[in-house]
Amino acid sequence: MNIFETAKTAEGLSNHEIAKLLERSLEGRELKNVLIIPPDFTRFHSNAGYITQVYYRLLTQRGVGVDIMPALGTHVPVSEPQWKTMFGDIPYSKMIVHNWRTDAVKLGEVPADVVAEISGGLWKDPVSVEVNRRIMDEKYDLIISPGQVVPHEVIGMANHAKNLFVGVGGSDMINKSHMIGAVCGMEEAMGRDHTPVRRLFDYALEKYMQSRPILWVLTVNTAPGGNILSHGLFIGEGRECLTEAVKLAQEKNIDYVERGIKKCVVYLEPSEFTSTWLGNKSVYRTRMAMADGGELIVLAPGVHQFGEDKAVDGLIRKYGYRGRLHTLEVFNSPEAEDLRSNMGAAAHLIHGSSDGRFSITYCVKEISRAEVEGVGFKAASYDEMAAKYDPEKLRYGYNTVDGEEIYFIPNPALGLWINKEKFNA
């Protein structure tokens, strides 16, 4: 079976319409065990939580065994309150936690010559193809991978094979793919389809995963006022569903500004953004819209750490967000073995910097000013800045505060902002 179905609407599909399409995707399948790999809570607005609930109900009613393994990547596991919010009444005990350092098996590798070709010669080492061992367990008659296609700083447009090779992938693939994206330049990737990292994943999928029964269930969403609108649902077993989803995401999730933004204020919802590892979406997604010499103010009331685990947190504190060239220089120095052994962190340091082109001010409650400044950002009091730039009062887009024009973004995870004057699709 090699289906491809799509539904698109400007207003957003209703839950009933989505459920009917999901039910149709199971027609004609004789199933005993199914593995669902939804994104984690950091991708709450993907609507994958609802999609997972529908599949879980449909399958368990048929007596099918269902396991759910969130695509954590390097993130912390989904907490029980987050699980309830995202996955409803599915028992928390159904969650399988992926450990990117220990749970992956190597299937082969993307050869050095292929990596060199897709990276334009900027990366010449082979890359191991690694996925969680359960992906290869033949007891599963079907692997369902739901998630949102949305602009992404490493791969250009998130989801599809990324959900496997990063979401439930292993250390070599995660680390090297992120470094390849970083050295090739995120401005050349974000919002585009056939980027170096996407080509890396396409190669790995075609070469090593053709025997696995994977059903992609891709959404294209917006979330005005926090309300999820699924403008497109793309279901299929090949790449065509991704190709079509990318086209719609480019229409729905890229906001072009007429000129570079001089002052941008971004709000990070505290339940979604608890670290700069996650919160730096405020940097990734706006840097193509920021004017030289501009200021990015990040209102981050829930950010209480830098990395998602102690090891990465320590690396961020040690090396800081100090620009692409500086980080690459340090990365290649003899004393940075700890950074080379965690390339994903090195890539993150590159992505989280403005390269000195504009300033970044983090406004937090639970990290000291000295700590914030120690990793290369400016620091300000959250309470003071939120009083001036009140996220409850600002509207999305341009506002005037004390006679000054600012651009307000209530959730940077849902889009990509680009200065129209400087973008060639």
Q: What is the pLDDT of residue 2?
A: 56
pLDDT in tens, 106-159: 999 999 999 999 999 999 999 999 999 999 999 999 999 999 999 998 999 999
Name residue 234's amino acid. F
Percent of the chain with pLDDT over 70: 98
pLDDT in tens, 236-274: 999 999 999 999 999 999 999 999 999 999 999 999 999
pLDDT surpasses 50 at 97: yes
Q: What is the pLDDT of residue 415?
A: 87
Q: Which of 253, 257, 281 is nearest to 267 (CA)?
A: 281
Q: What is the pLDDT of residue 282?
A: 97
49-53: average pLDDT: 98
Contact 153, 349 (CB under 8 A): no
CA distance 13 to 43: 19
Kindly report which listed range (174-178, 187-191, 275-279) carries the lowest average pLDDT score.
187-191
Torsion of CA 383, 388, 394, 398, to 10 degrees: -130
Helices of type H across 62-195? 80-87, 112-118, 162-165, 171-184
Question: Helix or strand or coil: residue 139?
Answer: coil
List the helix and strand counts (H, then E) for the chain: 16, 18
Helices of type H across 320-399? 324-331, 337-340, 343-351, 369-374, 382-388
pLDDT-derived band at 420 (thresholds 50, 70, 90) equals confident
| Report field, pTM of the whole predicted structure over 0.85 | no
Q: How far is CA 44 from CA 17, 72, 128, 157, in A?
A: 20, 13, 29, 17
pLDDT surpasses 90 at 42: no
The H or E element spanning position 317 is helix 310-319
Residue 91 CB coordination number (10 Å): 10
Name residue 283's amino acid. V
Contact 149, 249 (CB under 8 A): yes
Q: Which residues pair with 218 in a beta bridge?
A: 147, 234
Domains of the chain: 4-252 (3.40.50.11440), 256-422 (3.90.226.30)
The H or E element spanning position 25 is helix 15-25
Mean pLDDT, rounded, of the chain = 94
pLDDT in tens, 222-233: 988 778 999 999
Q: Which residue is associated with the tokens 């209480």? A: 304
Chain centroid to Cα 285, Å, comes to 11
Name residue 9's amino acid. T
